[in-house]
Amino acid sequence: MSHPPGGRLARGVSIEERGPLTGDQVRDVLRLVDAVTDTDGVRPLSEHVMLHLRYGGDTPARNFLVREDGQLVGYAHLDTTDVVEGASAEVAVHPAARNAGVGSRLVDAVLRASPDGRLRLWAHGQHPAAAALAARMGFRRSRVLWQMRRSLFAALDRPVLPAGVSVRTFRVGEDEVRWLEVNRRAFANHPDQGRWTMAEVRTREREPWFDPAGFFLAERTGTLVGFHWTKVHGAGAGSHGHEPIGEVYVVGVDPAEQGHGLGPALVLIGLRHLRAVGLGQAMLYVEESNTAAIGVYQRLGFTRWDTDTCFRPFASAN
């Protein structure tokens, strides 16, 4: 999200909502992104959205174009495909068109177009102006995430499990209840993850990326004590036109088992699986405030790739 608007829109400004963009429209958006990046030093759109632009992206995605006298001065991307977390949007305003109401109009448009008002407005680089615009539009900061990455071509240590612990893959229809129980214990203090319900698990099981062969469960004498749920982005039909990348989606360890190396061992098991299915890179998201987890991931070869800030409307932020 770019600098906050403050003035009035010019008479010749119009906004258009579209599904897929034409080649000319994509080129206009990419030029706008380059102009914002040159001014701010941070690209206003995530890699995910940039790939949507270049390669077509998901059909349900909505694009919002603001033009002044025919020139593109603002752009917003709205993704409504995540029925669990809610719609997400990213916004960019040309530096020459700031302080004229373009950003406010785009945020208002994507908020009205989101299915249920649970819009997540993402900003990149923690630019203070993004927070100012969000506050003016009735949003508050809800999360700051580090995206971390590592190569899967680099050496991966062999996982060493604590004595008495074994690992197997997830069984759909059998493991959901026990997984939810250990997930709640592992993330008791997490505002989102610890509140997952059976409906949220079932929703993910219906997603095209879901693969139980990449969902690892650690057990001690039949009791579930930890897990690593992996995810693959951009694989198979409907991919985003880029090389697929693996994700450390969720890793959790029962509090009674923490401190014995189970978490790092589970991460390594998942990474070795992602490499075995032919992936060259892995990513993860971690809360900026979780310094202990960041330290673990750094020791496992991950480095910070980017920083994302999520804003939500006050009414839906809890």
pLDDT tens digits, 1-27: 443 333 445 556 899 999 989 999 999
The CB density around residue 140, as the number of other CB atoms within 10 Å, is: 12
Residue length of the chain: 318
Round to whole Å and give the CA distance between 204 and 192. 15
Higher pLDDT, 224 or 20: 224
* Same domain? 190 vs 280: yes
Q: Do the Cβ atoms of 179 and 227 come closer than 8 Å? A: yes
**What pLDDT was estimated at residue 6?**
38
* Same domain? 154 vs 291: yes
* Same domain? 222 vs 96: no
Higher pLDDT, 38 or 46: 38
74 lies in a domain? yes
Give the chain's domain count. Answer: 2
| C-alpha radius of gyration, the chain, whole number | 21
The pTM score is 0.72
Give me 276's structure tokens. 């075995």
**What pLDDT was estimated at residue 227?**
98
| Span 156-208, pLDDT tens digits | 999 999 999 999 999 999 999 999 999 999 998 876 687 888 988 998 898 88
**What pLDDT was estimated at residue 67?**
96
Which whole-number Å values give the CA distances from 192 to 23, 106, 187, 214, 238, in the listed order? 39, 27, 9, 22, 29
Higher pLDDT, 28 or 129: 28
* Same domain? 172 vs 297: yes
Domain boundary among 67, 102, 137: 137
* Same domain? 92 vs 155: no
Q: Which domain holds residue 58?
A: 13-137
**What pLDDT was estimated at residue 11?**
55
Average pLDDT, the chain: 88
Domain boundary among 137, 160, 182: 137
Residue 42: which pLDDT band, with cuts at 50, 70 and 90? confident
The CATH number for 275's domain is 3.40.630.30
* Same domain? 111 vs 178: no
* Same domain? 160 vs 127: no
**What pLDDT was estimated at residue 241?**
46
142 lies in a domain? no
Strand partners, 215: 229
Higher pLDDT, 57 or 127: 127
